[in-house]
Amino acid sequence: MQAWHFTEMPYPYLPPDAPSTRINLPSVHFDPKIGADLYNRYLDEHAIADELGLDIMLNEHHQTPTCIDTAAPLNLAILARQTKRARLLILGNPVGHRNDPVRVAEEMAMIDCISYGRLECGFVRGVPYEVFASNANPTRSGERLWEGIDLCLKAWATTDGPFNYEGAFWHRRSINLWPRPYQTPHPQIWVTGSTDVATPHRCAERGYVFATFLLPHQQVRPLFDSYRERFVERGLPGGGGIAYMPLVHTADSESEAEGGAEELRWYLTSSRSEPQFRDPPGYMPVKGKVAAMKQAASGGARNLRQGSLEQLRDQGILISGTPDSVARQVKRFYDFVGGFDHLLMMDHAGFMSHERTVRSMTLFAKEVYPQIKDLPRTKPIRVAQAAE
């Protein structure tokens, strides 16, 4: 089991009456002096994670105060120099939203070289509201993601001079990457998903890591099972494995842990958005849209993420407590979902102080990590059955 430190790098000082924290909150509410301190603090904490033996994950969002890491490759480049040993995961590049996948491939190759091959390269379709920031057509964001990945891979793997490319979404006449990645032919690829089993299937077929975030274990299990099934069906080695992100807080006492967990919950409760930003046209497939319309007509669904701390812990969306309790909860989730390989820890959110964040990371690294590090890697389902 590999454990990764992660924060969305929030700017938590939201105006109390803001109807929306997505897309249209005026930037007059961003104080650059506070923002400068936050960026530097968050980068410091990533350097501490490196010293503690944790790996590091970054992501990006746009036009929202809940994540001011709007250009993850920039922070990644800083960390490539300021850290020494941690794996550096970007999860991920919203390649379908960027107008130039070749530029993404170049950035990743540079970071991989500067870090001496510590890059883990993720790609994401992007959450619905991202289409408003990038203007990428919501009905094609999935297709753009996979074409973008393929173009990056081809750009990295082609080492014998320029190639021409005329795809559905991008045309380039002489792609010839300088530099190419430090890891040959390219870093491990990661892709995220949350509902459609087609994504873990595709990841398994290609040997990518499949990652999913903040879902109850009942919903995670079928996604992970479909990954494990498919990499046997296709006879492929399976590659990277599977990853899950809960909120994670480790503290010296249960009462202290409860306070930290409450601060992490900010991430689940502070996001407000107007309906049009949650549901851009054609982002959801027709079947999903039909289900959503019926649900809305019948009064809407209960949001699983809005439960009590106890409920969140029961679902595995939140893992919090003293070190032994956190280790138990990780193992419980591991058993519920049939095993997994990467624990992506959102271990900071909202107003959580530097001291509390570092204490939690330190306790985890020193007292929890040794208890879970040797959990076996996930196995292909049929191999496991054969062993039994």
| Torsion region of 365: left, alpha or beta (phi above 0 gives left; psi -120 to 50 gives alpha) | alpha
Whether residue 39 contacts residue 69, with contact meaning beta carbons closer than 8 Å, is answered with no
In the complex with another protein, the residue whose CB is nearer, 19 or 370, is: 19
In the complex with another protein, the residue whose CB is nearer, 146 or 336, is: 146
**Distances in Å between the alpha carbon of 383 and those of 45, 110, 162, 178, 387?**
40, 39, 42, 42, 6
Q: 139 burial class (0-12, 13-18, 19+ CB within 10 angstroms)?
A: middle
> Closest approach of Cβ 138 to another protein, in Å?
6
In the complex with another protein, the residue whose CB is nearer, 36 or 296, is: 296
Q: What percent of the residues of the chain are helix, what percent strand, and what percent coil, each to the nearest 5?
A: 45, 15, 40
Cα(79)–Cα(111) distance, integer angstroms: 9
Task: Take residue 125 and report the two structure tokens written for it.
Answer: 């379709």
> Closest approach of Cβ 105 to another protein, in Å?
24
Residues sharing a CB contact under 8 Å with residue 324, sequence separation 6 or more, in sequence order: 367, 371
Parallel, antiparallel, or unpaired: how do β-strands 119-123 and 88-93 relate?
parallel
> Closest approach of Cβ 114 to another protein, in Å?
35
Cα(344)–Cα(57) distance, integer angstroms: 8
In the complex with another protein, the residue whose CB is nearer, 168 or 386, is: 168
In the complex with another protein, the residue whose CB is nearer, 147 or 347, is: 147
In the complex with another protein, the residue whose CB is nearer, 24 or 311, is: 24
> Closest approach of Cβ 201 to another protein, in Å?
21
**Distances in Å between the alpha carbon of 109 and those of 123, 134, 151, 155, 171?**
14, 23, 14, 10, 21
> Closest approach of Cβ 143 to another protein, in Å?
8
Cα(9)–Cα(43) distance, integer angstroms: 9
Cα(284)–Cα(139) distance, integer angstroms: 8
In the complex with another protein, the residue whose CB is nearer, 15 or 288, is: 288
Whether residue 21 contacts residue 271, with contact meaning beta carbons closer than 8 Å, is answered with yes
In the complex with another protein, the residue whose CB is nearer, 235 or 275, is: 275
> Closest approach of Cβ 131 to another protein, in Å?
8
Task: Take residue 360 and report the two structure tokens written for it.
Answer: 């939690």
| Residue 33: alpha-carbon gap to chain centroid | 28
List residues binding another protein (CB under 8 A): 23-24, 132, 135, 137-140, 168, 274-277, 280-282, 284, 286-287, 289-290, 293-294, 296-298
> Closest approach of Cβ 94 to another protein, in Å?
17
In the complex with another protein, the residue whose CB is nearer, 135 or 255, is: 135
Whether residue 170 contacts residue 151, with contact meaning beta carbons closer than 8 Å, is answered with yes
> Closest approach of Cβ 276 to another protein, in Å?
6
> Closest approach of Cβ 377 to another protein, in Å?
38
Whether residue 82 contacts residue 47, with contact meaning beta carbons closer than 8 Å, is answered with yes
